[in-house]
Amino acid sequence: MKLRSMMIGAAVAAVAGMTVVPAIAATPANMLVIANRIDDITTLDPAESFEFAGSDVARNIYSRLVNFDPKDLNAGYGPDLAESWTVSEDGKTITFKMRPGVKFASGNPVTAKDAEYSLRRAIILNKTPSFILTQFGFTPENVNETIKALDDSTFQITTDQRYATSFVLNCLTATIGGIVDSKVVMEHEVNGDMGNEWLRTNTAGSGAYTLGSWKPNESVTLIANPNFYQGEPAMKRVVVRHVQESATQRLMLERGDIDVARNLNPEDIAAVAAEDGIAVDSELRGRLMYISMNQKNPILSNPKVVEAIKYLIDYKGMQDSFLRGQYTIHQAFLPATYLGAIDDTPYSLNVEKAKALLAEAGYPDGFEANIIVREAQERIEIAQSLQNTFAQAGIKINITVGTAKQILGEYRARKHDIYLGAWGPDYPDPNTNAGTFAINPDNSDEAGLTGILAWRNAWDIPEMTKETLAAVVENDRDVRAQMYEKIQREHQATSPFAIMYQKIEQTGRAENVHGLNLGGAITAVSYWNVTK
Amino acid sequence: MTTVSNPTKGRRRSPFYRFAIKTLQTLATIAVTMLGLLFVTFFIGRVMPVDPVLSIVGERASKEIYDNAYRALGLDKPLIVQFFYYLRDVVQGDFGTSLRTGFPVINDIKRVFPATMELATIGTIMGVVIGVPLGVLAAVKRGTWIDQVARVVALIGYSMPVFWIGLIGLLVFYGILGWIGGPGRLDIFYEDLVPQVTGMILIDSALDGNWEVFRNAFSHIVLPASLLGYYSLAYISRMTRSFMLEQLGSEYITTARVKGLSEWNVIWKHAFANIKVPLITVIALSYAGLLEGSVLTEIIFSWPGIGSYITTSLLSADMNAVMGGTVVVGLVFVLLNIFAELLYKFFDPRAT
């Protein structure tokens, strides 16, 4: 694989010298053509879809009760199909007023009954992403009481205890919160599957687009929905074509056969950036790169050692060399654009300080430890950089490379010294990361809380767990944001996690295309504001 | 493919009876071959260290969801039972649903196989039309510069990595010169314009009389098909050359020359006539090889063919798709073999 990409690079470089920009063909003015890797789409049913390319499709086809505005993602959630909402005294019941006059692509009106059907359906079907909703206590048995339409325009949900309203509403902006056309879906029900089989390959939403066609591993075509309540989008057709190779995407972009190329590697990005008529956009995504130290290890559980290690990472050096354009320094557990995210970066490479800390900890000559890492190019390169900088303070690092399964297995079994890996948020609320980095209800081996990163590192934090749980029930959005800021600063200072980077996605775009938003760290792409 | 010796030989039977027996034997051979193929693929697929459940539900699914999917796939049953269930469905023409695409496997195959078939057919035609004369020429002009050139051409065809030559081809003919269409089977604006009959766009557009789509499809297929054609040309020309050399060294050729027949007559009427049968086998095998799909060519040219379909399915443990694809490729091999055998009879009266 490596050899192959090297040869491709060589091939491209060989001819790059004689590249004459050809007469650029252009895509039609009302059509947006995108090259992307879309082989991860396995279903289009919003109750089931949990992959990147699938979320991209769902965001443009299914409106939700509340949603992010692509023009201002930092504003957080705002009204979508729900025009307004009120929260009961006890904080458990949220009552939504549906936006009047909105129609599905089929022409059916969007009512509270559809919201009721869609959310109940997501709970009853119980597919992979269902935990995003069931964490509020909804079960197939209680949905008749907890999720209900009071009349055509009033919809109500009741959670099992008090939660921050922003927590609940953020979760409703996820793909699983998509509102389906209950009449159309029920017509396609087979053996009580609530239309799941049909919705995998068909769509019934009220969003900006409807599905024209989906050919797996080939293309997804979206057609503008004339009934879209925010007005029919300018791009009448959006075609996302599956193009695997970066070099191929670059050629198509340079030829003008596509408007946007989403998987260009750094070399190709550099090349297209120099071309007339092509712009390069960088957008932050949700994935974080971090290392974590197992607190079962007697050396690594020493707070001074943990702090020393945080000063032994060449954050800037890596960012400016092999991670250039792909990762940016970020040292807190909430990705930028999440509610409560902070951009403090207290740590940088400081070998002297680290040495002093190690001496204080009683390890003036360093020690030996093992880093486990998955066999992925950039991760191994990071591990090698760590090995190098750690050695400057006398810490001898052995790198163990394994398959994803092996490495995760060891990590979940709490058998590692230091783990190097990535974490991506599951849903657009700070709790998605706080609930794993900063919570550990039971640190015993028997608890087996393998889904929780703090547990995997045997980091026992009764106080911080309480703080994190308190943030989950704080109803004032601003106060809640401040709580997360505080938790993150404490986390930065004391946790055995050294969060290093946040992912950047770089996109090549024809200059005449405007208004494309990839969704940042928090949501998926939106096409409806695109103009040419 | 073997021709089982006819047990009724010697006894006088009606031609119809013999034909029926022959057909039954052929069908039995197909059935046994396919059963063996299914069996092997199924068990290799099940012992592979990839978890099909994980690829459906994802890494972060709860235990309960995982278990539900596990049961829904029937993985809790003994292997042999699973195999019989699968066999039962296949006999009814149901290859199951692909985990990766969510579509019935048979629909996926209807989509990807014609794409490969179109490519392979054009490639093979090119390979035959150029490769056979080149091979004959190289044999006749053995040792001359013509033979050397033919050898170099074939060697390059063999040894050039397809992804490299494919990318260079794209860069030059598409990127720089703009003579041909880019990756994919059609420009995006031409997609879904002609009704799908065979799934092969060249044929469908011709049937529809939509020559604009035809031209566009041709501009897209010409480069990948040429690459495959070049590969098959290399193979066919080398084999033709060696078959021809064998014939040209035989005594009957000398006799024919002594008789004063024209060189053209000697080469084509005598020598070439005798290599038709082995050549058919070579061409059929080369065609079958291309019909398996060429993964790298498909990736470079974003060609949605069966090669990349089976490969990506295999990597995500989508066994229904892998088995379905394998069965189709296997069937194609068997059918091409039978077809080749029929052609033997046509060209060689001695074959029974």
Q: Do A241 and B184 touch (CB under 8 A)?
A: yes
Same domain, B118 and B79: no
Q: Touching check for A231 and chain B: CB below 8 Å?
A: no
The mean-pLDDT minimum among A359-363, B133-137, B160-164 falls in B160-164
Interatomic CA distance for residues A359 and A321, integer angstroms: 31
Contacting residues for B187 by C-beta, under 8 A, at least 6 apart: A257, B181, B216, B220
Residue B12: which pLDDT band, with cuts at 50, 70 and 90? low
Q: Touching check for B182 and chain A: CB below 8 Å?
A: yes
Q: Do A33 and B58 touch (CB under 8 A)?
A: no
Interatomic CA distance for residues B89 and B100, integer angstroms: 19
Give chain B's length: 352
Residue A208: which pLDDT band, with cuts at 50, 70 and 90? very high
Same domain, B161 and B307: yes
Same domain, B66 and B198: no
CA A208 to each of CA A47, A223, A388, B216: distance values in angstroms, whole numbers, following the listed order:
19, 9, 51, 31
The label of the residue with tokens 């002594």 reads B258
What are the phi and psi torsion angles at A151 (to 5°)?
-150, -170
- Provide the percentage of residues in chain B whose pLDDT is more than 70: 93
Instruction: List beta partners, residue A31.
Output: A237
Interatomic CA distance for residues A443 and A449, integer angstroms: 8
The pLDDT tens digits for A495-512 are 999 999 999 999 999 999
What's the confidence (pLDDT) of residue A19? 40
Mean pLDDT is highest, among A6-20, A64-78, B292-306, for A64-78
> Is B153 part of a structural domain of the chain?
yes
Query: How many interchain CB pairs under 8 A, A with B?
Result: 124
Q: Touching check for A27 and chain B: CB below 8 Å?
A: yes
Same domain, B123 and B85: no
Q: Residues of A with CB below 8 A from B110's CB?
A: none
What's the confidence (pLDDT) of residue A14? 46
The mean pLDDT value for B116-125 works out to 92
From the list B58, B192, B304, the residue facing A128 with the nearest CB is: B58
> Is B166 part of a structural domain of the chain?
yes
- Asked which of B50, B67, B91 is the last residue of a domain, the reply is B91
> Is B5 part of a structural domain of the chain?
no
Q: Residues of A with CB below 8 A from B167's CB?
A: 8, 11-12, 245, 247-248
> Is B97 part of a structural domain of the chain?
no
CATH number of the CATH domain containing B239: 1.10.3720.10
Q: Do A216 and B100 touch (CB under 8 A)?
A: yes
Max Cα-Cα span within chain A? 73
Same domain, B140 and B257: yes
The pLDDT tens digits for A84-128 are 999 998 889 999 999 999 999 999 999 999 999 999 999 999 888
Q: Residues of B with CB below 8 A from A19's CB?
A: 175-176
The secondary structure of B239-281 as a DSSP string is HHHHHHHHHHTSHHHHHHHHTT--HHIIIIIIIIHHHHHHHHH
Same domain, B113 and B83: no
Same domain, B124 and B86: no
Q: Touching check for A125 and chain B: CB below 8 Å?
A: no
What's the confidence (pLDDT) of residue A25? 61
- Provide the percentage of residues in chain A whose pLDDT is more than 90: 73
What's the confidence (pLDDT) of residue B293? 73
Residues 450-489 of A with CB under 8 A from B: 451
What's the confidence (pLDDT) of residue B1? 44
> Is B100 part of a structural domain of the chain?
no
From the list A11, A243, A257, the residue facing B167 with the nearest CB is: A11
Same domain, B80 and B172: no
Please say if the pLDDT value at position A16 is more than 60: no
- Model pTM score: 0.82
Same domain, B87 and B110: no
Q: Residues of B with CB below 8 A from A126's CB?
A: 64-65, 68
Q: Hey, what domains does chain A have and what are their CATH numbers?
A: 40-206 (3.90.76.10), 284-504 (3.10.105.10)
The mean pLDDT value for A255-277 works out to 91
> Is B141 part of a structural domain of the chain?
yes
Same domain, B27 and B126: no
Same domain, B141 and B280: yes
**Element holding A507 (H helix, E strand):** strand A497-510
> Is B45 part of a structural domain of the chain?
yes
What's the confidence (pLDDT) of residue B73? 77
Q: Do B100 and A255 touch (CB under 8 A)?
A: no
Q: Touching check for B90 and chain A: CB below 8 Å?
A: no
The label of the residue with tokens 């084509």 reads B268
The pLDDT tens digits for A429-459 are 999 999 999 999 999 998 888 889 999 999 9
- Indicate the pairing of strand A418-423 with strand A31-36: unpaired
Q: List the domain range (segments joined by +) for residue B25.
A: 15-91
Same domain, B173 and B232: yes
Q: Residues of B with CB below 8 A from A31's CB?
A: 188-189
- Asked which of B31, B60, B91 is the last residue of a domain, the reply is B91
Other beta carbons within 10 angstroms of residue A213's beta carbon come to 14
Q: Do A31 and B188 touch (CB under 8 A)?
A: yes
- Asked which of B34, B63, B91 is the last residue of a domain, the reply is B91
> Is B158 part of a structural domain of the chain?
yes
